[in-house]
Structure 1
Amino acid sequence: MINGPVTKMDQRFSDPDAVATEWEETRHVLEAAELFWISTVRSDGRPHVSPLVAVWLDGAIHFSTGTDEQKAINLRENPHVILTTGCNDWKEGLDVVVEGDAVRATDEAMLARLAEAWTKKWDGQWQFEVRNGSFYHKEGGMALVFSVKPTKILAFGKGKFSHTRYQF
């Protein structure tokens, strides 16, 4: 993605004088976000939403989950996810919605890079060892790692309201 995604402003949901949010600003929000909300779908079709920590690296969002957590159970049958981040302030900020499929990450070199990214982003509060294609907490618990390459990202600017769509 040398030139970035295709960027479009949706005038239907934007102030008349608003401009599209630059991809660099949206990418910065994804890189800096300390908390995301993930939406998955249960086997009976009901939605499931949960907060989680994640990292943006190499054009994808990566997250981990225990094997018995509801999101992991849901992903076994349906990989489609939405991840959101932003702020709950009405007058300022940027809310971002990422759509894509969660794919299990098992490559140990990539997992090592991700473990380092988690440690760095949260000043050592999240530390993982990499073994057997998974993360392991120091306390011994195993976590699966998933990567979401976006198919679409929406950015909602506030104050001067804008709705920007990035297509990948």
Structure 2
Amino acid sequence: MAEPVAEMPYMPDYGVQAQGWRPLPWSWAAERLGAGRSYWVVTVSGAGAPHALPVWGVWDDDEQRFAFSCGPRSRKARNLAANPRVAVALDDTVECLSLQGSAEVVTDDARRQEWARRYVGKYQPLFADLDAAFVLAHLVVEVTPARAVAVIEREEDFASRPTRWRFAD
């Protein structure tokens, strides 16, 4: 799969200008997406009401997909049924990264099993009792990103390194 295309985000009010701008490499973003423990998932209801809560999740850079699980009666699930647009952000306020895209409940059993395997592989070292049954007892939601945005909240990087990536359609 092709690596996302880096672009300079339009942020002139924050001092971001072409002169001196250097994009972050996609590897910077992929590393953080893969290593994160908690991620903020933002959904919007059919009526336009936003909802944000942290989840555990898994990034697969080969597929360029993110997945998490949630209760079938949760606000996230109800919002995604009405509006599949979603944002996913790292739980980091210095090296900030968010994905924007669409989410879909995974219904294919083999695909659900694969995401559960990845999820357990990531989180079981932290929580020994975690197993695939926990994940599979809930919805498995797969996020397909359209773009990602990164901003580093350090003075030396803030105006010179913000990066937006576009994913292939």
TM-score normalised to the size of structure 2?
0.82
Q: Distance in 2 between matches of 1:86 and 1:21?
A: 19
Match of 1:127?
A: 131
Aligned pair count reads: 154
Matched with 1:66 is 71
SS class of match (1:115): helix
Q: Structure 1 vs Structure 2: percent identity of aligned residues?
A: 27
**How far off its partner does 1:123 sit?**
2.5
Structure 1 equivalent of residue 32 of structure 2 = 29
**1:55 pairs with 54, 58, 83, which one?**
58
Aligned counterpart in structure 2 of residue 143 of structure 1, from 134, 138, 151: 138
Distance between the aligned counterparts of 2:117 and 2:32, measured in 1?
Answer: 20
Aligned to 1:165: 164
Q: Distance in 2 between matches of 1:21 and 1:51?
A: 25
Structure 1 residue 127: Cα displacement: 2.0
Measured after TM superposition, the shift of residue 19 of structure 1 is 1.5
Deviation, 1:109, is 2.0
Q: Per the alignment, in what secondary structure is the counterpart of residue 111 of structure 2?
A: helix
- CA contact under 8 A between 2:40 and 2:91: conserved in structure 1? no
Higher helix share: 2
- Secondary structure of the structure 1 residue equivalent to 2:20: coil
Unaligned runs of 5+ in 1: 137-141
CA distance in 1, matches of 2:44, 2:143: 15
Instruction: Tell me if structure 1 keeps the 8 A contact 2:58–2:67.
Output: yes
For 2:164, give the aligned amino acid.
R
Counterpart CA distance in 2 for 1:86 and 1:145 is 20
- Any stretches of 5+ residues in structure 2 without a counterpart? none
> Residues 44-69 of structure 1, C-alpha deviation per residue, up to 9 Å, x if partnerless?
32111111011012211101110111
Identify, as 1 or 2, the structure richer in strand: 1
Instruction: State the match for 2:97 in structure 1.
Output: 96
User: How far is the alpha carbon of 1:117 from its aligned partner?
Assistant: 1.1
TM-score after normalising by structure 1: 0.83
Q: Distance in 1 between matches of 2:132 and 2:109?
A: 12
